């Protein structure tokens, strides 16, 4: 009998220096959960800087999508199809509308992006709305599964709250990868090479190495603490003043 993959991860999310200066809360949110020995879910959401409740929208989005996938896998062996996922996002959009109504604002004030990874046995599902990203390693080489998508104008993107419908990208792939990284656009400038549209290997190789070498499974507490310190480091904050969220996953 083949052993279950030993998935383990380090994760951290830190407020951007620009948000600190302006007295704003962190607007990134994330969630990672190993639902069973063969199923792992990870999600990152970035609340829009122009949205009053963007951080709350990101948190609600992560929490509710993770709940939907947990419920799904309670009674299904395989991944949901795109129609089911769109129905879930419509329900989340309704919840955001209700939250906005209670505060007397439009749903746009809860705007947030989405990138999500779901590993189920030998298959991978990737979801994306907006400019958060997902990269993966295969045979030692990194590739982008979800490249940041920008809007029609500079410094704009797409959000789960957009009307008339959400601009969702879904990718169904075979599990040919032994490592993944999900991140918000706060570290895009150091993680992605825009000219080639490839992940920056000199960034990801040393970042994933301690996760590759770690013993045990699940969340790596000490490495997550070290990752948080790196995201707060002056060297990185000099290059980006936005919120920064990074999930590093390995089964090598």
Sign of the Cα pseudo-torsion (8, 14, 16, 19, in order): positive
CATH number of 8-250: 3.60.40.10
Strand 198-199 with 192-193, pairing: antiparallel
Residues of the chain with pLDDT under 70: 1-3, 153-155
In 184-232, beta strands by DSSP E: 192-193, 198-199, 218-219
Residues 53-68 pLDDT 10s = 999 999 999 999 999 9
The pLDDT value recorded for residue 189 is 92
Question: Residue 51: phi, psi to the nearest 5?
Answer: -100, 130
Q: Whole-model pTM?
A: 0.96
């Amino acid at each position: 009998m083949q052993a279950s993959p030993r998935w383990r991860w380090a994760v951290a999310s830190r407020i951007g220096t620009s948000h600190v200066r302006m007295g704003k809360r962190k607007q990134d949110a994330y969630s990672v959960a190993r639902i069973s020995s063969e199923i792992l879910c990870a999600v990152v959401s970035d609340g829009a800087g122009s949205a009053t409740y963007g951080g709350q929208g990101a948190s609600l989005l992560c929490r509710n999508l993770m709940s939907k996938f947990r419920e799904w896998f309670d009674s299904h062996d395989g991944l949901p199809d795109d129609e089911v996922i769109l129905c879930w996002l419509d329900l989340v959009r309704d919840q955001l509308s209700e939250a906005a109504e209670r505060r007397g604002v439009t749903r746009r004030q809860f705007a947030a992006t989405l990138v999500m990874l779901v590993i189920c046995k030998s298959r991978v599902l990737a979801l994306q709305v907006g400019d958060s990203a997902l990269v993966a390693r295969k045979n030692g080489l990194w590739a982008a599964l979800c490249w940041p998508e920008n809007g029609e104008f500079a410094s704009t993107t797409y959000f789960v709250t957009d009307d008339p419908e959400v601009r969702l990208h879904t990718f169904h792939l075979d599990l040919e990868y032994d490592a993944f990284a999900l991140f918000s656009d706060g570290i895009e400038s150091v993680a992605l090479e825009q000219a080639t549209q490839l992940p920056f290997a000199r960034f990801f190789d040393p970042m994933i190495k301690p996760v590759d070498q770690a013993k045990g499974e699940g969340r790596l507490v000490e490495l997550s603490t070290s990752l948080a310190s790196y995201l707060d480091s002056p060297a990185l904050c000099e290059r980006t003043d936005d919120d920064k969220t990074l999930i590093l996953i390995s089964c090598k």
